Structure 1
């Protein structure tokens, strides 16, 4: 059986899965969103073997979600920081957290909290252009015709940090 290359798929979900579908990658991104940057911090939080963690971090760097920055010369050590592409992944993690909390955490112990007010955040997916909530009943997806080039990625002017 020949495996399909998700990087060439005409679907943004398939292409996104290619970059982050491994569960450890999602947990690394979760921790990076929480402010962790150092290898040992990720290792302590996730509990992943160091060789696996190193591979996952390298994959996220290659995908452009994290960037590696030196913070110590002797011995050489690097920190991992979210890029603009990585920070744009926040809504996906928030949606996953909301869904998991609703359906998989019956005790409700997990909460997303507004840093300024301390209030619980109740996520809602909205259309950036209209401000309206996005609901399954109100949308449909359209795939480009075969051979149609995909739309270009947003520029920094279109999608500011």
Structure 2
């Protein structure tokens, strides 16, 4: 098994990868930014193994990207809320989404990110194609695009914890 650290690397990218570089982690963050909060919802959306999801959520909480909050006492159940540090990953996720749309989505983008203010699309540089404004995680709605299977509903991003 490969180590999770990049010892000897004095590099912020390496340090970031130590937190979000494992398989599934960025997809969990993506779903959290889309409003997913509960364990079973993450599992249902991602098709991820229970133990892997539990491990990744724990690491995201430990890193301060998600906050674990009790929402039911019998049995104890928790939800996972995006923290300000998690919201700061939105530009990374959206830049990867736009790159994937351009280079890895021959049927078209599976997800379209729209500016809530005017309906323009998110474009490279994380600006609106309609009005040119810079966009952030609380400015956008997401809906299924032409490459989606199956089509989904409009989803608002998560509010910070």
TM-score (norm 1): 0.71
User: Does the Cα contact within 8 Å between 2:64 and 2:83 map onto a contact in 1?
Assistant: yes
- Structure 1 unaligned residues grouped into runs of 5+: 127-161
Cα deviation 1:6-26 (Å, max 9, x = unaligned): 376321110000000013010
1:119-130 aligned within 5 A: 119-124=120-125
Residue aligning to 1:67: 67
Unaligned segments of structure 2, at least 5 residues: 128-161
Q: How many residues align?
A: 126
CA–CA distance in structure 2, aligned partners of residues 53 and 3 of structure 1? 19
User: Match for residue 108 of structure 1?
Assistant: 108
Structure with the higher fraction of residues in helix conformation: 1
The structure where strand makes up a greater share of residues is: 2
Offset of residue 120 of structure 1: 1.6
1:34 aligns with 2:34: yes
Report the Cα distance in structure 2 between the residues aligned to 1:71 and 1:115, rounded to whole angstroms.
Answer: 29
Select the structure with the greater relative contact order (CA < 8 A; seq sep ≥ 6): 2
Residues 10-21 of structure 1: matches in 2 within 5 Å? 10-21=10-21
Secondary structure of the corresponding residue to residue 122 of structure 2: coil
Counterpart-to-counterpart distance in 2, 1:7 and 1:78: 34
Which residue matches 1:22?
22
1:23 is paired with a residue of what secondary structure? coil
Whole-angstrom CA distance in 1 between matches of 2:92 and 2:78: 26
Distance 1:94 1:6, change over 3 A: same
Cα RMSD of the aligned pairs, angstroms, is: 2.3
Moved over 3 A (4+): 2-5
TM-score w.r.t. the length of structure 2 is: 0.71
Find the counterpart in structure 1 of residue 119 from structure 2: 118
